Structure 1
Amino acid sequence: MTALIDQLRTAPRSVLGRIPGISGDDDESRRPLPVSGMLAAAMTLGVGLAALTTMTLIGWIAAPGSTALGSGLPGVFRTAAQIWLAAHHAGFAIPGGRVGLLPLGLMILPAVLLYKAARWMARDADLRLRLPAQLPKNSPKEQAGARRKAQLVLVAQAGVSLAAPYALLAGLIALVASNDVTQPYLGEVLASHFLLAFACGALATARTIGPFRSMLRLLPERARAVALGTATATALMLTAGLLLVLSALLVNFRSIAELTSQLSPGFVGGVMLLLIQVLYLLNAVVWAMAYIAGPGFAVGTGTLVAPTGVNLEPMPLLPLLGALPDSGPAPAWAMAVVALPFLAGAVAGVVVVRVAPSPSYEAAPFWGLVTGVATGLTAGVLAALSGGPMRGEQLAAMGPSPWEVALSVALEVGVAAGLSAGLANWMLLYRDARKEPGKVAKAGAAIARAASKVGLAESDSAKPLPGHWMDATEADTQAIPVIRDDWMDEHASAAAEVQAQSRRRDIVDETDDRGGHVIYMDPYAWDKD
């Protein structure tokens, strides 16, 4: 896809370069960033709609008697457009209610296309050449801070350049896809497309400026530590949710097979049913995370699936729902899963301290608590995206409650992260405090041994230096010696001085006490203090 756009971009320039009098310089013909963003947005929408229209058309041809995919080619295109809007988590209004329970797995297709298009946009606008990924070593902090701010501004500009035209084009598609049965919410369409495109565009631009490690350096140290701790806790909880879902599918596989046989979908319908359940698997993982956190989730109005108990009503005939437990009190071991958020918080607290240790004992628990709050907000957003109504009445409440999940995760992860961060930070400071005196003592002992060997330190076997050492009053009357041009370090100077004293003994007889004494004035005694 990007290679085709690159060829289309360079082809006119190569042709113009052959015309006399017209320059084909690539730097002068570079497009501005908003123009590149508009082309990338149009490219993403075109490729995505073409792929979905092709798949919908194949299903319509394989099942000619079915009207689920639309009637005629215009209906097939409207169905593909509605699937594209649903992939961005934009809801629909239908007779008797609304559809908000949309598969999160379907969001992977536009996210990948947007990321690829944003990488092309960054290369087309030469964003890598605008700011270096790294500065030379020992650069001033002010320069590094200014570079970081400039890079963040550039990343935000690239995200907006892709997201703004992408959302406007999606609004036109929503108007085309509207019919008497399904009517997309225009506000949700604009907001969902803008947010997804901005996130993918900013991430791709940051990746173009430098490697993934440089992407994290765009954030300040403390924000980077909190972000990594939040990502660690969220990833651990989602991994635990995935394991719980796979275990439930394996244990209740017979019930899932019975529900599938009751539907009798046929070959084409069976493939579509399997694809839908795979796309809803990410929703199930988020629901399992809400189950682990404690609040659980609902499968209809008045229902609840939580570690404290299960209360279910008649559910839709979706084989994936056959993995749910039976109604009744939950077993005692089910409450053990509530300990998983605390474990995730403990690991996240250690990560926060390892990335950015706190200089004081009191600050580390605070940043652990901030990490817990950020993790709770992330879990609440995921809960909101994973649930929603399926129509009205009984199916109006599907999925976990966002505010309950956010509050539970923030408390559980925040408390555990605060305690682990405080303990890890105390151990780090205590270890450094013990290491430093040991290093100083070892270094002092080594210097003392070296000095004793050259006669600069007192020892039991040391002999007094020869000659007469002047007191303070005598030293004031003597001129200060001039430092030699060939000045050596302390150890070499001391060794040379010892050799000079041995030579002076051959000239001055210091043991002669006839009629007085011999005074020896050392001109280099000033540097031995």
Structure 2
Amino acid sequence: MLSKISGDDDETRRPLPVSGMLAAAATLGVGLAVLITLTLVGWIAAPRGALGTGLPGVFRTAAQIWLAAHHAGFSWPGGQLGLLPLGLMVLPSVLLYRAARWMARDADLRLRLPARLPKNSPKEQANARRRAQLVLVAQAGISLAAPYALLAGLIALVARNEITQPFIGEALLSHFVLAFLAGVLATARTIGSWRSMLRLLPERVRAVTVGTAVAVALLLVAGLLLVLVAVVVNFGQVRELTEGLAPGFVGGLLLLLVQGLYLLNAVIWGMSYIAGPGFAVGTGTLVAPTGVQLGYVPTLPLLGALPDSGPVPALMMAVIALPFAAGAAAGVVVVRIAPSPSYEAAPLWGFVTGVTTGLAAGLLAALSGGPIGGARLAAVGPSPWEVALSVCLEVGVAAGISAGLANWWLLYQGARGRGPIARKLNTARKAGAVIAKAASKVGLAESEGKALPGHWMDATEADTQPIPVIRDDWQDEHASAAAEALSPASGPQRPDAPRQPRRDIVDESDDRGGHVIYLDPYAWDRDD
């Protein structure tokens, strides 16, 4: 009966590639429908010809926005368009995640996952189960990403016109990467909670991953606060730029939407400012804690929050301490997840966390900037390699120091019987005691130690204790030994009489009779 039920399930279950293709097509359909609706509203409110001519132009513009949402650039006669709003990536990311969850349910990936292992299973079996889970998660990500990228290539061909030419290679790569990440996260989410997802990684890799996430999150939060403070301080200039554009009601809503989509770019620029290298708003410009040098900037009201050209107050140099604080927090997190038994390893892993944080910051810097045409606006945004190097050194040094100190404190607490390490050792000792008790009940081990046979001095004491010697003041205590030394015919001996030597003990050097008689040092203490 069970085999029949399982066979029916196999027949009704769709193959994973088929479920991935359906999920990819549904994501593209829903996303394009939303963007076509917004573009149509903008086409009605904007001047004629701004968003294309007729409904075909509206669809082509919506397709171009969809490609830009995946950070696929364009080329036009005046140069390239690479400064794309990162906020647009929220729409395809959410749709892909929900589609991947549906794909996991449709293909019954929960049933295909390896079964749970019982407690105290061998480590080899646990590692094999983890590898099998990772393989299935990767297969799910590829099943969604491959058809999604192919459909994106078709959209890139349709979105071409006489002015804008999408980069097909960037479109294929960006769609594949985003869909793969969404598919992997959604499939891993079917295993259990986020903590269970992280357990798919080895302990050390998991510690570095979480530490990197903590450091990047703190840097982004600091960048967001910096942007909000700049907007509040320069709000008058932002309002003047908005009034100069005179967008109207509908145009004002669209302008507000565009600035909201570029907010994440501005946050990453603020993170680059805090890291030290800063960012540029055109060739030959720089906005950094060391100074500001600006020229003409695009008429986007959000750019009105930029500071004026000239030296920066010395107080602004204090923001450079924020990456060190983020690194210190990341180092503590790394040690809390995976403490190191040696003092030298913890700082090394802390610095590795700084390196991965620098790479992540450099990637974000590369995504947040790009050219807007040619000439002066060919370089807009932070320099990826400068941001990566600065964050790597700042966060890495701080994380290494904090990780070393935190690891030393955990080891110190463990030596004193406190802290997580001590709790693990106490747990191991209790488990060992329980195992030993159970083994003693079945006869595999002795519950209590037994006394060694022989004299009152055991084997250990015989090697360390001196051999007793009969002395004159022990006459009453060892009267039996003295009585054996007396001759039976001599009668009782007076107490003050000289002591007679014992004749029943033969020196070992006496070899008369053809053999050696060894001295027994304990013979005096025997009663028989």
What TM-score range do you get, normalising by the shorter chain? 0.7 to 0.9
> 1:114 offset after TM fit, Å?
0.3
Aligned pair 1:143/2:125, yes or no? yes
* Cα deviations by residue, 1:376-414 (Å, 9 ceiling, x for unpaired): 000000000000001100100000000000000000000
Q: How far apart, CA to CA, are the structure 1 residues paired with 2:295 and 2:344?
A: 50
Correspondence for 1:84:
66
1:27 positional shift: 3.4
Aligned counterparts, 1:443-522, within 5 A: 472=454
Structure-2 residue corresponding to 1:120: 102
- Structural RMSD (CA): 2.3
Change beyond 3 A, Cα 1:263–1:29 = same
* Deviation readout 1:65-113 (Å, 9 max, x if unpaired): 4322211010000000000000000000011100000000000000000
Partner of 2:17 in structure 1? Answer: 34
Task: Look up the match of 1:228.
Answer: 210
CA distance in 2, matches of 1:475, 1:326: 93
Structure 1 position 267, deviation (Å)? 1.5
**Counterpart residue number, 1:72:** 54
In 1, Cα distance between the equivalents of 2:202 and 2:452?
60
Q: One-letter code of the match for 1:277?
A: Q
Distance 1:346 1:470 in 2: 58
* Deviation per residue, 1:245-268 (Å, 9 max, x gap): 111111111110000111111112
- Are 1:400 and 2:382 counterparts? yes
Check the 8 A contact 2:230/2:306 in 1, yes or no: yes
1:376 aligns with 2:358: yes
Q: Is the alpha carbon distance of 1:386 and 1:474 closer, same or farther for their aligned partners in structure 2, counting shifts above 3 Å? A: closer
SS at match of 2:341: coil
Equivalent position amino acid for 1:80 in 2: A
Query: C-alpha distance in 1, partners of 2:127/2:94?
Result: 32
In structure 1, the residue matched to 2:179 is 197
Q: 1:474 to 1:330 in 2, by over 3 A?
A: closer
Measure, in 1, the Cα distance between the counterparts of 2:455 and 2:306.
98
Structure 1 Cα separation of the partners of residues 373 and 129 of structure 2: 51
* Residue 322 (structure 2) pairs with residue 340 (structure 1): yes
Aligned partner of residue 218 in structure 1, secondary structure = coil
Is 1:44 equivalent to 2:44 in the alignment? no
How far is the alpha carbon of 1:143 from its aligned partner? 1.2
Superposition deviation, residue 473 in structure 1: 6.0
Q: Taking structure 2 as the reference length, what is the TM-score of the superposition?
A: 0.78
The residue correspondences of 1:314-463 to structure 2 (distance < 5 A) are 314-435=296-417
How many angstroms apart in 2 are the aligned matches of 1:24 and 1:61?
56
> What secondary structure sits across from 2:391 in the alignment?
helix
Amino acid across the alignment from 2:361: A
1:136 Cα deviation after fit: 2.7
Which of 9, 33, 44 pairs up with 1:61? 44
- Asked if the contact 1:127–1:209 (Cα under 8 Å) also holds between the matched residues in 2, the reply is no
Q: How many residue pairs end up in the alignment?
A: 426
Distance 1:139-1:327 versus aligned 2 partners, 3 A rule: same
Q: What code does the residue aligned with 2:112 have? A: R
Q: Give the C-alpha shift of residue 61 in structure 1.
A: 2.4
Q: Deviations over 1:167-220 (max 9, x none)?
A: 000000000000000000010000000000000000000001221111000000
Deviation at 1:471, TM superposition (A): 7.4
Map residues 123-272 of structure 1 onto 2, 5 A cutoff.
123-132=105-114, 134-272=116-254
Give the CA deviation at 1:149: 0.6
Query: C-alpha distance in 1, partners of 2:314/2:365?
Result: 26
Match of 1:309 in 2: 291
Contact 2:45 2:251 in 1 (8 A): no
Structure 2 counterpart of 1:33, one-letter code: L
Once the two structures are TM-superposed, the CA of residue 133 in structure 1 deviates from its matched residue by: 7.5
Does the 8 A contact of 2:27 with 2:96 survive in 1? Answer: yes
1:470 is displaced (CA, Å) by 11
Aligned mates of 2:221, 2:323 — CA distance in 1: 11
Aligned equivalents of 1:172, 1:104: Cα separation in 2 = 23
| Distance in 2 between residues matched to 1:471 and 1:31, nearest whole Å | 75
Q: Write the distance in 2 (CA, Å) between the matches of 1:474 and 1:334.
A: 82
Residue 475 (structure 1) shift: 12
- The CA distance in 2 between the partners of 1:105 and 1:186, in whole Å, is 21
Paired residues of 2:83 and 2:372 also in contact (CA < 8 A): yes
Preserved CA contact (<8 Å) 1:244 1:288: yes
Kept in 2: contact 1:301–1:394 (CA 8 A): yes
Q: Match of 1:512?
A: none
Secondary structure of 2:10's counterpart equals coil
192-201 or 267-276, which deviates more? 267-276
Given the superposition, is the C-alpha separation of residues 475 and 120 from structure 1 closer, same or farther in structure 2, using an over 3 Å criterion? Answer: same
Contact 2:198 2:206 (8 Å CA) reproduced: yes
In structure 2, how many angstroms separate the alpha carbons of the residues matched to 1:49 and 1:41?
A: 12
Matched, 1:291 2:273: yes
Letter of the structure 2 residue corresponding to residue 258 of structure 1 = E
Match of 1:104 in 2: 86
Q: Secondary structure, in 3 states, of the residue corresponding to 2:196?
A: helix
TM-score, normalised on structure 1? Answer: 0.78
Gaps of 5+ in 2: 1-5, 427-450, 459-528
Distance 1:374 1:406 in 2: 9
Superposed CA offset, 1:98-147 (max 9, x none): 00000000000000000000000011111111125853322221111111
Distance (Å, rounded) in 1 between the aligned partners of 2:87 and 2:369 = 13
Q: Which residue of 1 aligns with 2:429?
A: none
The separation in 1 between residues aligned to 2:192 and 2:456, in whole angstroms, is: 68
Amino acid aligned to 2:416: R
CA contact (8 A) 1:238 1:285 kept: yes
Paired residues of 1:371 and 1:417 also in contact (CA < 8 A): yes
TM-aligned CA distance change 1:134 to 1:243, over 3 Å: farther
Deviations, residues 416-436 of structure 1 (Å, cap 9, x unaligned): 000000011011101111228
User: Are the equivalent residues in 2 in contact too, given 1:88–1:193 (CA < 8 A)?
Assistant: yes
Provide the C-alpha distance between the structure 2 equivalents of 1:261 and 1:471, rounded to a whole number of angstroms.
Answer: 104
Change (3 A) 1:229 1:474: closer
The one-letter amino acid of 1:434's match is: R
Determine what percentage of the aligned residue pairs are the same residue. 77
Amino acid at match of 2:352: V
